Amino acid sequence: MTGDWNVVAIGKAAGAMTQGVRDSLGDRLATAIVVTKPGHCPEPVVRDGRVRLLESAHPVPDERSLAAGQAVADFVSGLPGGAQVLFLISGGASSLVELLAPGVTLEELRDLNSRALGDGVGIGEINARRRALSRLKGGGLAVLAGRRRALALMISDVPRDDPAVIGSGLLHASGRERSRDIPVIPYRIVATVRQACRAAAQCAAARGLDVKIARRRFSGDAALVGRRFAGASEHAREGTLLVWGGESTVRLPAHPGVGGRNQHLALASAIAIAGTRDVALLAAGTDGTDGVTRDAGGLVDGATCERGADVGLDARACLARADAGTFLEAAGDLVHTGPTFTNVGDVVFGLRARAAA
């Protein structure tokens, strides 16, 4: 990349992506606007006087999302016609920035997000619904960029790494929207869940484990996925680590408890492997957060259900009321990493340990 660049970074990984670009461009980074979750931006970026940092709402948008959407629109629209724009887009952008379509209210947007997240809807369908209410999504941000020279670097947390789904398609329209006059912005996918799985596999192999990475991205109901992965782990050969990447869904009851899809998946797995001595399973979000909690997920084994029962909790009852977080916390099996500054979806590791010598 040559010349000076103006950076627009949006998503859970926006801060880390900006840091990488900042280190690469040096003085050729002219200005930047970064929109991310609170606490998800590295300190060097926070302290850089060229960067305007906006902390916004996720996973359900609020007034901060609208303010951030307007700020991004003003930033891009206000750049000189000959300016170069580097877009850094990652998962979470759908909630973090928004400009509502005429007649749409914030309450309608919030209700759509809450219902979709609780109805077990996949990310592709959720983002299609979001685009219908937005002036930024479905290529709206690309329209604001106009004829300025632009490039997009994207971290994918969606199936098939589709740029029209990442961030609800801030820069790229879906098939139903391509009739709009939208500039074509070249893009590169710089990180995916497949790469995360491969990196984990390399670490495990270096520790002497036999590693098998699933060929397909997982999806579907978290409890069903958890039971399936538990069975696969239990029937694997000793010393084998199974690795999956993807994103599950949860259909919430009327009054859900505490937890997220990874905690739900982990608890369902714990019920399935209860009583075993050589199986463990980790389900976690690569961004370090699971749902509306501050935990990444859960790490369970054959004694998880027993540990929870020792303090008076029933694993099946907690799972039924979507209260996996309460149970896993009581069992000592919650995983807390804090912000990881990336977001490529979820990973699940199933370990069949070797028998003790």
From residue 195, give the alpha-carbon distance in Å to each of 243, 282, 332: 12, 18, 29
Bridge pairing between strands 210-213 and 240-246 = parallel
**Strands (E) located in 14-144:** 29-36, 51-55, 84-89
- The answer to whether the 5-191 and 194-352 domains have the same CATH topology is no
CATH architecture of 194-352: 3-Layer(aba) Sandwich (3.40)
Single-letter amino acid code for the residue at 319: L
Q: What is the pLDDT of residues 314-324, one digit of tens each?
A: 999 999 999 99
Q: Taking residues 258-262, report their average pLDDT.
A: 97
Beta-carbon contacts of 326 under 8 Å, excluding residues fewer than 6 positions away, are 257, 258, 259, 313, 318
Torsion of CA 326, 298, 43, 198, to 10 degrees: -160
In this predicted structure, the answer to whether residue 177 has a pLDDT above a threshold of 70 is no
* 35 vs 55: CA distance, rounded Å: 6
Strand order in the sheet with 346-352: 210-213, 240-246, 346-352, 279-285, 297-301, 334-335
Residue spans of the domains in the chain: they are 5-191, 194-352
Contact 300, 230 (CB under 8 A): no
**Strands (E) located in 182-256:** 187-191, 210-213, 240-246
* 281 vs 350: CA distance, rounded Å: 4
Task: Enter the pTM of the model.
Answer: 0.92
Contact 203, 241 (CB under 8 A): no
In this predicted structure, the answer to whether residue 268 has a pLDDT above a threshold of 80 is yes
* 242 vs 252: CA distance, rounded Å: 28
Q: Taking residues 175-179, report their average pLDDT.
A: 58
Unique residue bearing structure tokens 């077990």: 120
DSSP assignment letter at 352: E
Bridge pairing between strands 279-285 and 346-352 = antiparallel
In this predicted structure, the answer to whether residue 286 has a pLDDT above a threshold of 80 is yes
Q: What is the pLDDT of residues 100-157, one digit of tens each?
A: 999 999 998 888 877 776 777 777 777 777 888 899 999 999 999 999 999 999 999 9
**pLDDT reported for residue 356:** 72
**pLDDT reported for residue 130:** 80
**pLDDT reported for residue 122:** 74
Domain 5-191 has CATH 3.40.50.10180: yes
* 138 vs 130: CA distance, rounded Å: 9
Tokens of 194: 């497949």
